[in-house]
Structure 1
């Protein structure tokens, strides 16, 4: 995918997310800033979270996100 060529260049591509998903993605970015998770990103509207143990989890709803946070 051509957006991968931009990695490390300082250029970011923002997806057009629904209001609910944008809020959820904002919460995952906050967790990244707090260093609770290693990374977070979106691809085709899906939110992914990379944990410090290397596992990648999809965040599909607010309830799923809350459950994920309980195990961090």
Structure 2
């Protein structure tokens, strides 16, 4: 079960994928990078694994692991 922070990172990633404007994408990407920096190693790994399951070809945030 993902932690609350992992779930939030995944939600931010989904918003980033859906963002139409470049400024909006940059805002969500910045927030996602900041949140990923706070995750514990096991949370980062859970995020990476979940993201790869849901969007295997997506690399908007880069690998967190």
Return the TM-score normalized by structure 1: 0.34
Return the TM-score normalized by structure 2: 0.37
The structure in which a higher percent of residues are strand is 1
Which structure carries more relative contact order (alpha carbon 8 Å, separation 6+)?
A: 2
Structure with max Cα Rg: 1
